[in-house]
Amino acid sequence: MRAVPGDLTTTTRPPTTIPLRHFLVALAFLAVGGTLALLRAAGAAVAGAALGGIAAAHLLLVGWVCLTILGAMTQFVPVWSGVDLHSERLATLQLVAVAVGVGGFAGGLWFGRPADAALLAGLIVVGFAVFIYNLARTLWRARPLDVTEKHFALALGFLALAAVLGGSLAADYRWSVLASLGLSRIAVVDAHVTLGVLGVVVTAVFGALYQLGPMFTQTDALPIEERLARVETAAYPVGVVLLAAGRLLAVAPLATAGGLLAAGGAAVAGGVLLRRLRDATATATPMLSRYAVVALATLAWSATAAATWAVDPLGPAVRFGHPAVGPVLLGALVGFVVVGSLYHVVPFIVWLDRYADRVGLERVPAIDDLYDARVAAVDLAATVLGAGLLLAAAVSPAVASLGTVGGSQGGLVRPLGGALVVAGALLFAGNMVATVVRHGGAAMLAGSGPGTTTNSEASDASDP
């Protein structure tokens, strides 16, 4: 676990348009998914009452989070590993397949047509299969794998398993395949969610933080942290596998053992990140401020999840740990790391594409000058306050009931918290889109223009 990799290279990165398109499409899913989730939370009379929650969840988790991860790994695995991406065409194909699939699948669920949605889900599976193949071929040339690359390889394995279960669940809407296999739909959903969220997303997040944490805090690893990282790399993925298997087979002791291993591994990753942030020598940025939230959320989530799963690891209520605070804490862990990372990655890609070749010839803006810092501060305040209100409403019925009028159900705290989180997310998305429009524009997205970066043109003087 090195602080700033000395062998980091940018000569193997794919064209910047590939990851940027992933990020912008993902931001669109964030806006739509967040809005639909808020409408449901507010009790609005909208279509898709029965399956709307599943639709919004897929827009946010698959459309926003997973597409962001796909774009980030496609861009930075070649950089970190010093090998060429196996295929740029496949990277473009994965975006189209997953984006169309998620949009169609979520739309079918939202409008109450799950049998039709099942057909679109096949595109998601195809897109993920293409991504897995492309990145696996890329990582194969990077051996021996470092701690980040090992996490990414594990995330690919989890994605394959989650896609198989997810495809089966979608097919069940149309052909009722699970009953013929003797499987409970709830158990399959539990295993699918475990592999998808805890396996794919959180594993990839931890892997990225082992590189991005040292790089942007400008701290060196302590010997004990390197040993702890090896423990987490073994314990966390094994824990996720056991937890998913225990839930699929309804074997509580197996799931409990897996849950405790996963929670313990997460605590290690959160503790290492928190130490680095405490000792950071780098200038405060939107990335680091959000990583601080991630570190605290990770430690709180791991503690509450371990206490919950030690007693009962099975059932929809405890999929994400503690039934009250687990979803909020895990959402903060994932959401803030994605937002924080994109606050550097998107401006960096734009800067590399539009300004890198002008360094030394004219004055160019710094990476952190490309986005609006005031908007970044406001969206951070909104999301932190919103998450705090959601946590308070989850742990205190008295707080949750504040603002109740007459015989109405529930108070105003939870809807207000959700509204603030969505408002912060929309401000962030607008900030990133504005950055691209102001400094990149349509020419950059089209892969044309004087600043478009390709493999042969990238300079190793512009490492992220």
pLDDT at residue 302, as a whole number: 97
Task: Report how far residue 206's alpha carbon sits from residue 213's, in angstroms, rounded to the nearest whole number.
Answer: 10
Q: What is the pLDDT of residues 425-446, one digit of tens each?
A: 999 999 999 999 998 766 666 6
The dihedral of CA 229, 235, 238, 241: what is its sign? Answer: negative
Token pair listed for 33: 């998914």
pLDDT above 70: percentage of residues in the chain: 88
Nearest to 316 by CA among 328, 327, 307: 327
Number of neighbours of residue 179 by Cβ within 10 angstroms: 10
Mean per-residue pLDDT, 69-76? 92
Q: What are phi and psi of 44, to 5 degrees?
A: -65, 145
Q: Which of the 8 DSSP states describes residue 284?
A: P
- Cα 373 to the center of its chain, rounded Å: 23
Count CB atoms within 10 A of the CB of residue 295. 24
Tell me if 288 sits within 8 A of 277, measured CB to CB.
yes
| pTM beyond 0.85, yes or no | yes
Q: Which of 85-99, 120-134, 176-190, 250-264 has the lowest mean pLDDT?
A: 176-190
Residue 464 is predicted with a pLDDT of 39
User: Quick one: pLDDT at residue 362?
Assistant: 85
In this predicted structure, what is the pLDDT of residue 409?
58
Tokens (6 digits) for 294:
């991630």
CA angle 344, 346, 348 (to 5 degrees): 65
Q: What is the CA radius of gyration of the chain?
A: 21
Residue 71 near residue 36 (C-beta atoms within 8 A): no
**Range with the poorest average pLDDT among 230-244, 379-393, 403-417:** 403-417
* Contact criterion met (CB below 8 Å) for 164 and 188: no
Nearest residue to 132 via CA among 65, 66, 59? 66
Confidence (pLDDT) at 410: 64
For residue 189, which amino acid is it?
Answer: V
- What rounded mean pLDDT belongs to the chain? 88
Sign (positive/negative) of CA torsion 102, 108, 114, 118? negative
Confidence band, pLDDT 50/70/90 cuts, at residue 451: very low
Angle between helices 17-41 and 413-439 (to 10 degrees): 160
**Average of per-residue pLDDT across 342-352:** 91
Nearest to 303 by CA among 322, 275, 279, 277: 322
Q: Distance between CA 316 and CA 374 in Å, rounded?
A: 40
Q: Which residues pair with 359 in a beta bridge?
A: 362
- The confidence score (pLDDT) of residue 398 equals 83
Q: Which of the four pLDDT bands, split at 50, 70 and 90, describes residue 419? A: very high
pLDDT-derived band at 16, boundaries 50, 70, 90: confident
Question: Per-residue pLDDT tens for 227-276?
Answer: 999 999 999 999 999 999 999 999 999 999 999 999 999 999 999 999 99
Question: What is the residue-wise DSSP string for 53-72?
Answer: HHHHHHIIIIIIIIHHHHHH
pLDDT for 457:
40
Residue 362 bridge partners (DSSP): 359
DSSP state of 199: I
Q: What pLDDT was estimated at residue 356?
A: 83
Handedness of CA 400, 406, 409, 414 (dihedral sign): negative
Structure tokens at 370: 């490309």
pLDDT in tens, 75-95: 889 988 889 999 999 999 999
